[in-house]
Every structure is written in C-alpha cells, then in structure tokens.
A = this chain, B = another copy of it.
C-alpha cells in the first residue's frame, strides 16, 4: 500500500494527520504539485486525474479524494473513531466537514489558484487546463473571514468542532486554516475561541505529520 503525497499541500496533510491519529504508518511517495509533477506522465499513469493525495492499495486499486482515503482507514482501523460514533455525531461531523470545505477551503484555494502565476491554466486541480478567474481570488478572503467569525461563535460552546471528541472535522479545519494563513489570510486577533482551539489542535503530535 502506498500514499502519493506532497508535504506542504493541505489535502495530503489532512490524510497524514488522520493516519497519525490512528497510529498507521504507510509508505509515502512525494509528488510536487508546484513543479507540476502531478501532471507528468509518470504520475498520470497511476492517477489519470492528476490529483493528490492518492492511495494505491496492494491489489492495485486507486483511491483518490482525501475523504475517501480517510474513510478507507476509518473502516480498517476503527479506533480512535474520527468520523463519529453514533448517528448524530457522524452526521454533525460530516456537516462541519462540508461547511469547512465549501466555506473555507474552496475560497482559500480560489485565492491561491486564481492569483499565483504557478497556477496559470491550473485554476482547478488536475488535468483540466482551466484558466484563472481573478474575481474568484478577490472574493475568497471575505468568504474565509465570514467563516472564521461563524466558527469562532460555534467554538464558544464546544471543545472541538463536534462536542468533546477530536474528529476529522477538526483535522480539516486545522489544515484549512493553516493553508489560509500560508496564502496570506490571518485569523483576526479578536476571534479568541478560534485561536484557543487552533493552539489546542496544533499542539497534538499528529499536527506535525
């Protein structure tokens, strides 16, 4: 089994943190997205979509999409549960996961992919050759800040994103907010609940994975 990975990219990091929380160690192969290695024939022969992360099972099956890879390991190594333990917590974790992705990850990626010349004609991950849309970059920061405000309110009454258990929602929020910081969007100083939660999750050993 092999994970095609890129240190420094936010989605591969989500998988690495998830694996660290589960205590799973697997072979990792680095593929450099900034250098376009994911769009070269070596990698496309493994994953024709040209996206990362990708998990290759021992039987050759290719599984891409971050959450698909993590759900594979949630089944094979159920403890600690990172997608919830009952119907309600599973639903709320999935809901927060989707909200982080749509309201924070996507606008952050919109900023990076539609303003940085490295991503010219690569405004959407993969092999689709899509031109940049500067207006997407322009609106991204406001959307992220609106999400931070909402999340800060939510964290006033909750130790983690869903109750008292660290979950895939926390992993995704941590990796996304660190990604936004890298892109130049800082967490406003007055959002103290959010800042405290960030310190807490980033101090877990898994955060260094």
Task: Please list the residues of chain A having a beta carbon within 8 angstroms of any beta carbon in chain B.
Answer: 49, 55, 57, 61, 63-65, 67-69, 71-73, 75-76, 86-88, 90-92, 94-95, 98-99, 124, 128, 130-131, 133, 135-136, 139, 143, 146
Contact = CB atoms under 8 A, between A and B. Distances in A.
A116 B101 CA distance: 25
- Main secondary structure, interface of A, reads helix
A72 B99 contact: no
B91 A71 contact: yes
Given A72-B91, A75-B90, A99 B133 contact: no
Given A63-B92, A65-B95, 10 more contacts: A49-B99, A61-B88, A63-B95, A68-B94, A71-B90, A71-B91, A71-B94, A73-B87, A130-B143, A136-B136
B130 A139 contact: yes
B130 A133 contact: no
Given A72-B88, A136-B136, A128 B99 contact: no
Contact of A91 (B49, B69, B146): B69
**Taking the full assembly, how many copies of this chain does it contain?**
2
A75 B63 contact: no
Contact of A136 (B65, B75, B91, B133): B133
A149 to B, nearest CB: 12
Contacts of A55: 91
B75 A87 contact: yes
Pick the most buried of A87, A91, A98, A128: most chain B CB atoms within 10 A of its CB. A91
Contacts of A67: 94, 98
A85 to B, nearest CB: 10
Given A63-B91, A133-B133, A75 B86 contact: yes
